[in-house]
């Protein structure tokens, strides 16, 4: 069975749809009031963030991204390195995350669930691999003058041909820090 990037493309369309529905539902629940005096109005882009991840495909990766649509949709780019047998060397990843679950516990802590797609280029064998993932985030707000800091756990499903089958499962853990 060959690599099927069309599966990930369909998942990306679903993610954008989920983000749009989530944004519409969130806007319907909020009262139409003016922001408090001195508050900055939120625009299309909500924040810029940096992320670091261990596992989940590349052994270690660092990257950056931007969040928009009320922090529901987050595209990001990561550079990484791995020493795996089949996939080795440097890697470049593009990811699209969409929040599908939000459990804000209080003003400074929340638990979130995201789904997403990724395309990873590995330099060792010059191959592009597609993946889908599910992640759980623990988000802390306004700690050490950082607007938001997240610890996340990610389960990746890579669509590649292996001896065992056509899907490779990886676990990853990472941190994300918002700049604004």
For residue range 49-97, list pLDDT tens digits in order: 999 999 888 889 999 999 988 788 999 999 999 887 677 889 999 999 9
Q: What is the pLDDT of residue 21?
A: 53
Report the run of H or E that residue 177 belongs to, with start and end.
Answer: strand 168-178
Domain ranges of the chain: 5-18+45-178
Q: What is the pLDDT of residue 119?
A: 92
> Distance between CA atoms of 168 and 83, rounded to whole angstroms?
16
CATH class of 5-18+45-178: mainly beta
For residue range 108-141, list pLDDT tens digits in order: 899 999 999 999 998 888 888 889 999 999 999 8
Predicted TM-score (pTM) above 0.85: no
| Distances, alpha carbon 90 to alpha carbons 41, 149, 158, in Å | 40, 27, 17
> Distance between CA atoms of 99 and 37, rounded to whole angstroms?
29
Q: What is the pLDDT of residue 36?
A: 47
Paired residues of 141 in beta bridges:
148
> Distance between CA atoms of 74 and 125, rounded to whole angstroms?
28
Mean pLDDT across 161-174 = 80
Q: What is the pLDDT of residue 38?
A: 44
């Amino acid at each position: 069975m060959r690599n099927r990037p069309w599966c990930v493309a369909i998942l990306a369309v679903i993610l954008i749809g989920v983000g749009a529905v989530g944004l519409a539902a969130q806007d319907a629940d909020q009262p139409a009031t003016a922001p408090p005096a001195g508050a900055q109005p939120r625009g299309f882009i909500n924040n810029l963030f940096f992320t670091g991840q261990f596992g989940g495909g590349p052994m270690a990766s660092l990257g950056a991204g931007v969040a928009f649509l009320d922090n529901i949709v987050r595209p990001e780019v990561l550079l990484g390195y791995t020493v795996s047998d089949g996939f080795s060397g440097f890697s470049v990843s593009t990811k699209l995350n969409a929040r599908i679950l939000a459990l804000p516990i209080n003003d400074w802590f929340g638990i979130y669930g995201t789904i997403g797609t990724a395309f990873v280029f590995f330099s060792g064998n010059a191959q592009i691999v597609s993946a889908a993932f599910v992640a759980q985030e623990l988000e802390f707000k306004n700690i050490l003058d950082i607007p938001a800091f997240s610890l996340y756990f990610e389960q990746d499903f890579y669509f590649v041909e292996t001896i065992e089958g056509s899907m490779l499962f990886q676990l990853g853990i990472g941190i994300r820090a918002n700049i604004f």
